[in-house]
Amino acid sequence: MSDEQILEIVDENLQILEEEISNAAEKSNAFEVRKEDEIESHLNTVENNMEIIAKTTENPNRITEITVRSRSNVKNSLRDWDQKINQRKREKGVQYKGKKKQPEGWTYDRPRPSRFLADPCHCKRGKKGETKFKCSTIGEERRRKIFNTFWNKMSWPEKKMFVKGFVKIDKVKRRRGTNDISRRNYSNI
């Protein structure tokens, strides 16, 4: 392999490095640290290749050691995205920032309060005991324990299953009005 071919390989690596630097400057601040690590990795690769090229002038058979880093090795860190951070906070019931549509895209700047245990129900139906409502049968301590378990210890799929476990599905008993035929066959109680 001639010196010209070696210089072409070095030029290609330098062009890739310059592209990465310009791309890193255009990206947002959230990805700045990751891009700096990526650029540093490319710099290390180029330095390593330069050392190998210096050795190959003496022995041309060692040119196979040059490595070119592929772009597909770069992985996005979903953990740092505002959307994912707010999603995890919302699922835990902690204060988070809701999204708002702007002309240039979505922004996460609408503060949403954390979940809290509301006052117990004081409905008259639950106290009579003749209806499906059993508000008065659950004490304050039990309500607090259910609330803390639900928001602090359960994952999102577990929360869904918890709620579905307490919903009773009954067939519609009586239809009123014949003008609009409803497709609803079940009531969630």
- The pLDDT of residue 175 is 73
Candidate ranges 86-95, 115-124, 130-139; pick with highest mean pLDDT: 86-95
Residues forming beta bridges with residue 100, ordered by sequence position: 107
What DSSP string describes 19-40?
HHHHHHHHS-GGGHHHHHHHHH
Helix, coil or strand: residue 149: helix
Mean pLDDT in residue range 80-91:
84
pLDDT in tens, 130-151: 666 677 778 889 989 989 999 9
- Do 4 and 12 touch, CB atoms closer than 8 A? no
- The pLDDT of residue 137 is 78
